Amino acid sequence: MADKKEDPRVCVRCGHVGGENDSHCIKCGAPLINKCADEPGLISDGCTHVNRPDAAFCAKCGHPTVFHKEGLVPPFQPFHHSIMIQR
Ligand SMILES: [Zn+2]
Ligand SMILES: [Zn+2]
């Protein structure tokens, strides 16, 4: 069996490699784990599913992910290239 290596926690915003137990980038404050943004609250137990770094929405429940909320994952774009609107 091929050994499955955990991806290093690389900050998707600045490229800083975080420590094993870091949940946020120490350089820019971006989250390092793309958790489901459905936090436990009054009306739900939350999801907190950990998604792949490029996931804009939770694979489990469809809520936006933390990366998506932080603007770290580009929003959905049509398959063909469209003009990027940069501010
Ligand atoms: Zn960073
Ligand atoms: Zn979720």
* pLDDT tens digits, one per residue of 10-60: 999 999 999 989 999 999 999 999 999 998 888 878 998 999 999 999 999
Distance CA 36, CA 84 (A): 26
58 and 51 Cβ atoms separated by less than 8 Å? yes
Alpha helices in the chain (DSSP H): 66-69
**pLDDT computed for residue 45 by the predictor:** 86
What the block records as the tokens of 79 is 């398959």
Tell how far the Cα of 62 is from the centroid of ligand 1, in angstroms: 25
Tell how far the Cα of 64 is from the centroid of ligand 2, in angstroms: 8
| 83 band by pLDDT with thresholds 50, 70 and 90 | low
76 or 29, which is more confident? 29
Tell how far the Cα of 43 is from the centroid of ligand 1, in angstroms: 32
Biggest alpha carbon–alpha carbon distance for the chain: 47
Tell how far the Cα of 54 is from the centroid of ligand 2, in angstroms: 14
Please say if the pLDDT value at position 1 is more than 90. no
Tell how far the Cα of 36 is from the centroid of ligand 2, in angstroms: 4
pTM of the model: 0.73
